[in-house]
Structures are given as C-alpha cells and as structure tokens.
Structure 1
Amino acid sequence: MSNHPAPSRRTVVKGSLLGAAALLLGPGTGAARAADGPTALRLPAPTGPHPVGLRTFVLTDSGRADPWEPGIVRQVKISVLYPARTVDGFPRAPQLTPDEADYFAVLAPRVHPGLPEVGAGVDWGAVLTHGHVDAPPLPGRRPVLLYTPGGGDSRTLGTALAEDFASHGRIVVLVDHPGDASQVELPGGTRTTVLRGEPDPATFRTMIDTRVADLRLVLDRLPGLPLAPVMDPRRIGVYGHSAGGTAAVHALAGDDRIAAGVNLEGYLDLDPELVAGLDKPLLMFRTDGFESAARLERSWAGVPARRVLLTDANHWIFGDYAHLVPQLQAAGLVTAGARAALVGAGNPAVATARVRYGVRAFFDRRLPVAGHRRAPQ
C-alpha cells in the first residue's frame, strides 16, 4: 500500500506518448479551443454539515495476476472520502492528477463520444474536488460505502455523489479498476484503458470478475488502512454505475461483509441465478433515455429490489458528467445532441438530487449513521 505515488518514468515521456495517441486515434470533431482561454469546470459543493477529507492509496494483490497486462500483479487505486474534523490548512484535491488529466484529454471523446477533443479548450486538471487532502477525520466509527464506476471511467468521475455522502457522515471508498478505467496513475506509470467501444461478452465477464475481486481486495485491506479506526466493518454497503452496478450486485450477493447495495443502471444478466437469489436490500435506478433499456429490463426481471426511474435523463447522469457536460455545452464545446446522449436533455439538478437523496435515504435505513437524521424521502 502506498500514499500519493510519485511521478514515474512513464510520466517523463508522457508528451510523446500523448502525441502518438492523438495521431493513432485520428482527427476529432470537437469544437475549437475557446478564444478566451480554457473552460473552467466546477463540481457542486456537498450538501451535508461536515467538511470532507480525502486520502488516496494504492493496494497491491501479490497473489493475483493482472488480467489486462500479463506479467504484473494486480494493483488497485482507491480514494477514501470521510467527514473531517477540520480542513483548515489542508488543500483541496484536483479531480485528476496532472498526468491523468493529460491522458483523459485524449481519451475522453473515445470513451464517451461527444466530449471535447484534446486541444478544444478544457483544462481537465483544473477541476477541483471538495475533498481536503489528509485532513484529520471526525472521531467515531462510521458506515463505509464502496463505489465502483462505469465501464471505462475512473473512480474520480464519481466524486460529487461520494463527497455528498461523506459530508453527511459516511466514509466512501472510490475504487479504480486499472486497465478498465480510462486512466489511473500508479507508482509504475499511468495505466490507460484497454476498452474500445462496447465490450464483447468475454471482455465484459473479465471486467466484472476483476471488479468483484478488486472490491474484495479493498474489503480485505480496510482494517490495515490508517483510517480504519473511524470505519465500522459491520456497516458496509456498495454502489456502482453501469458495469460498476453489475459488479456491485455481484459483490453484494457473494460477500457476507456487504449488507446493502445500489445498482445505478447496470445489467444483471451475467449470472442470473446469483442475483435472483439475492436476499439483501437492493435499490436500482435507471433512466428513460438509456439505449439498452430493453436488455436492462430483461436482466432485472425477477430481481428482488426497489426500482426508481429518472425521466429526461440518460446513462451517464449518475456520475460527474451530470455536472460537467452542461457546463461544456454552455461553453459551446458539447452539442445539444451529445448532451442528450450522455446525460439527457432534462435538468441535471433534478435527476442528481433524486439520486443523491434516494441513495442516502436507502443507506440511512440499512446502514444508519449514529446521531444523524434520515435523509428526506
């Protein structure tokens, strides 16, 4: 386990690698760089009473080979967000490290068509979170939520929702899945995604099996983290988006340490017998704009869970794109059609509020925070 990895040799040659990647991926169709300089993007402030602390770790599973890069052992990067006792003198963390931001600028429109091309005028490295690095945690043992992101996304694109949960008294562990995630900076260099378009069945199986194993690794290592004294191992939940939602339900069904889970529009047809026999609390969200809604509904048939439909929304509304894409559209860097395809044409504040309060209320009932009132229903 390591804290805040130092720049690697791969970082030194980043410029040439990114140039080659841009040539390989071909010319883009994004807007030109804004005339008045890079577009400033902001994440919404959390709504809870507590400021948020942040610590980042890299976990190494020496007994497991990495499925995406033969010859190396599996490493998983996590960010732990928690209610802080004070944040005075502790800086806010960027959403992406400088190295990750440079890679994301190239990869973003390939992972999510419609996002601005590299050079279009977006400074991804300037987006700040509301997590204060190494701030001291608020005393007391608290419920822990694990988050696994959508396929091709990095953990930090689930920041806004996680910070909100942390500000209301929970500890949230954002989990990266290197090789699947768009980019992850590790001690040995920045790993980029192997995914190109929609995964075939074999690749999807590898993604989910790897993600579930990553979540189990995190659970195994929680007692050894410096923040373990403020974590309650008897109150653990999991939530995830898309492929992360699939992995979250599989982890919920197969690991007795996890008590409740939330699936944000993830398929459940990979192991139907496993999920059909689920006897733990499960909440599931979906949007009315998801192009694969028919497959989603078929895969959810018979699964014992409460369901919520978001209207005028689309698949990527569950992450930080809900906040970033409308800002990009306002700056002329994302078209109305691209916005609708990514997060929907409706008011993102309405959809994200339903997710935020709905998920919080669900975990308030199942994994309550001592001394806190339940979230609004």
Structure 2
Amino acid sequence: MSVRRGEERANAGGGGVARRTVTRSAVMLAAGALLGGGAVGTARAGQSEPERAQSERERARAWVTPRLPAPSGPHPIGATTLYLVDPDRSDPWEPGIGVRELMLTVVYPARAVPGRPVARQMTEAAAALFAQIDAAVHHLPTSGVNWAAITTHAHLDAPAREVPGPVILYSPGGGDPRTLGTGLAEELASHGAVVVALDHPGDASEVDFPVTRPGRPDRVRTTVLRADPRNDPGLFRTMIGTRIADIRFVLGQLAVLAAGGNPDAAGRALPPGLGRALDLRRTGVYGHSAGGTAAAQALFEDPRIRAAADLEGYLDHPGPAPGRPGELFPVARYGVDRPLLLLGSAGFPHRGELARSWSAVRARSGGRVHRAEIAGAAHWVFTDYAALAPQLQAAGLMAADDRRALVGPIGPAESVPLVRGWVRSFFARQLPRR
C-alpha cells in the first residue's frame, strides 16, 4: 500500500521468491525510470508540459487497473508506514549507505475510518519501477496496466482499535517488494491481527523511502540482485542472514512502539492508539520463499516469536555444485519447539529440492510442524499475483502459459481463500487471545 503524509509517500505490501532473477536490462530500465525515462510511455514530440501530463492521464485511464480481493473479517482496517534505521548495522548490499534502513507497512484493525482515504497498493514512484523490474522478471505486461492506481481496502492512518491483538510480521520473497503481500496482510488484520510487512532494501526490487540520507541521494532504492541467489551460496547466505537480522530488529522497535514511543526515524506521527493495539506476547512471522526461509529460522533463533509459517521457502543452503545437497539451516538440523507451518504448491518445479529440508525439520520437531500443499497452484500463488495474474490474462495482457507458470491454473476464487484460510487459521490457533 502507499501512504501519503503531507507530500511524503511510502510503499507497502510484499511477496516473492529466493529464485528470482533481476536482469541487468531490467535494472537499466528501472534506472531510466528513476531519471524520468518512459515508465508509463513516452510523450509525443512537440507537446507542452500540460499537454504531456494530460496525455499521460488519458493513457492511464484507458489502461487496466486490477483489483485486490476484499478481506473477509469483521473489522475495518487501517494502514500506516514506519521508516526505521538500525545504527548498529551497516547495509550489507551497499556499504556506502552507512546504516541499515527499513521500510514497513503496519496493517491493523481500525476503530473508525470515515473520512480516511484508502491506500494504494504502490506509490507512483514504486509502481513505475515495478512496471520495469518486476514485469521483466515475471513476464507481466510493461504497458496497459495502471499499477499505481490499484487500491487496497485499508484506510490511511485511521485510528487503531485499542484492543491488543496478535502481531504478525511478513517477509516477502527474494527480490520482491512488500506490496505483493497486501491481500493476505489485510485478511489477517480484518480478523484482529496487526500485520507488519517488511521490505528488505537492496534485496527488494524497489523501496520508496520518505526521505533521502547521506549515501542514498534518491528516495527510491532498487535491487542489487543480478543473478539467482540459489546459484550463489554466499549471496543466499547474505540474503537470509540479513532478513533474519531485519526481523529481529523490527521486533525490538515494535516493543518501543508498544511502550508508547515512536520508532519512526523521520519522526512522522503515527495513528492514534497504534501502540496499544499490539500484544507482543502473541508474535508470529510468515514469509514467502526466501521470506519463508527467514521466518522459519527466525523462529528457531528468537524466543519472542511464538509461531511461524513458511510459504514455500527452502530450509537449506544451495549445494556446492549442481546435484549436491547444501547445508541444512539449524531450524532443519535441530527442529523447532514451537509451531511451524510449511505450505507449498503442487506446481513448484523444485519440490524435490524442497522436500529434503522440509522432511528434516518435521522429523526433528516432535509433531510441531504441519505441512500442506495447494493443488493446481504454482509458486507465486502465495502473493497478490494469485488475484492479479488471472485478471491480466482475462484482459489479454498476459499469456496463459505465463499466468500458469506464475500462479498455476487454479482460479483466484479458489486459491485466494485457500491461502488466506491456511495462514489465518494457523495463527488463530497458535496465537490465541490470552
């Protein structure tokens, strides 16, 4: 979701995969967009600035704007963003930035929403880059879709419902922004949870910050990934280690918020009652692909986390050579003493590789691990693509083969409730009201 505060904007959501590859050409296109290049088409020669702006508005109105499915819970929801800075860590991807920065979206049950505008899934700046970077990776249309116009069901900075609810963190997949996890976050929040979606800058395709800072002169930061992390053991280790450290840092900042403080590094005001909506005794984490890996390992490492859900993330490192298994993460070597959900898709082409580490953690966890699989689905069914890709195909903007490779042949009327139901019911059981 995008959240505007005065003239500041910040994006939100989540989803992705550790096997994602961002091509050099896609990143070059993204750089062109940042410099004012053709993110939404090129203007005709001789147009004045007002004429060019009008042409862009007309083009955007003619484009398709997909819809996100509404949440099913009884509570209206609000959304806000947090900008965090960890002064004790250097950024692992671009050391020149000097510190580790994070962008979060908090989606929560709202007390009242009248008069509060509805959030967009992405900011305009993030959407322009999404149409280049993410579209190139996933064979999405680079034109004909008004990504910036996709609305959510959350109201910006609405007062929070001051009933302490479970706090559930979300880590998207490798290379993906948090915006791609909007639908599931809203579903959980509509049923009483406070969901905190993380971007992992440098890894995420695009992150829109509210401010610039020394070492990062641009508001929007793009991914540094140029190859598949599963083909580079060192890169994969850095990715997962950074995500776990990000999750653990965020848990500490949420404690500041729950105690009445404001951890936002830009000092921006927070929605009334937000801190009192957090019950940190009921904290969970879920993630997709690389985010699922990080969620499971964070559960193993951090006792503040009471339950975790891994949505098709490996629990082992890449092997030293093709066909040779890699080292298991400690969570798979030793098992867990708290609940862990492993949720996969029948159409994931690397199910065999996944099975080794998933079987290992189940065998060592004394029945605390539950495993399930969604038939007719593919890897990105756990993200907003489950709803968006079929709409793009129906509009003639996405090939059927590309849609099937992304989310499988399953339709959103079936896949969206299945994914939401599995994750929602798991956390409802494991993080009950005390």
2:418 to 330, 354, 372: 354
Q: Is the 8 A contact 1:313 1:348 kept in 2?
A: no
> SS of the counterpart of 1:267?
coil
**CA distance 1:47–1:311, change in 2 (3 Å):** same
Deviation for aligned residue 1:349: 2.5
Distance 1:287 1:326 in 2: 17
Q: Which range moved further: 325-334 or 359-368?
A: 359-368
Structure 1: stretches of 5+ with no match in the other structure? 23-33, 371-377
- Equivalent in the alignment of 1:337: 401
The equivalences for 1:97-176 within 5 A come to 97-112=123-138, 114-117=139-142, 120-176=143-199
Q: Residue 295 in 1 paired to residue 380 in 2? A: no
Deviation for aligned residue 1:16: 5.9
Distance 1:109 1:140 in 2: 40
> SS of the counterpart of 2:108?
strand
Q: Residue 311 in 1 paired to residue 311 in 2? A: no
1:256 to 303, 311, 320: 303
The equivalences for 1:1-377 within 5 A come to 4=5, 6=8, 15=33, 17=35, 19=37, 37-72=62-97, 73-112=99-138, 114-117=139-142, 120-186=143-209, 187-188=211-212, 189-199=219-229, 200-225=232-257, 226=270, 227-270=274-317, 271-277=328-334, 278-304=336-362, 305-369=369-433
State the number of aligned residues: 352
Distance 1:273 1:174 in 2: 25
Distance 2:36 2:175 in 1: 18
Distance 1:154 1:354 in 2: 22
Which amino acid in 2 is paired with 1:333? L
**CA distance 1:68–1:16, change in 2 (3 Å):** closer
Which amino acid in 1 is paired with 2:122? L
Distance 1:3 1:38 in 2: 23
Deviation for aligned residue 1:15: 4.6
Which amino acid in 1 is paired with 2:115? G
Which amino acid in 2 is paired with 1:6? E
Q: Is the 8 A contact 1:238 1:260 kept in 2?
A: yes
Structure 2: stretches of 5+ with no match in the other structure? 11-30, 41-58, 213-218, 258-269, 318-327, 363-368
Distance 2:38 2:86 in 1: 32
Deviation for aligned residue 1:272: 3.1
% identical equivalent positions: 52
Q: Which range moved further: 345-354 or 154-163?
A: 345-354
TM-score by length of 2: 0.77
Which amino acid in 2 is paired with 1:243? A
> Deviations along 1:155-202, whole A, 9 cap, x unmatched?
111000010000000100001101111100112210111123421221
Deviation for aligned residue 1:3: 8.9
Deviation for aligned residue 1:292: 1.1
> SS of the counterpart of 1:169?
coil
Deviation for aligned residue 1:110: 2.7
Decide which structure has the larger Cα Rg and report it: 2
Which amino acid in 2 is paired with 1:281? P
Q: Is the 8 A contact 2:331 2:361 kept in 1?
A: no
> SS of the counterpart of 1:43?
coil
Distance 1:327 1:62 in 2: 43
* RMSD (Å) for aligned C-alpha atoms: 2.3
- Equivalent in the alignment of 1:25: none
Distance 1:105 1:18 in 2: 14
Deviation for aligned residue 1:273: 3.2
Distance 2:78 2:356 in 1: 40
Which amino acid in 2 is paired with 1:82? Y
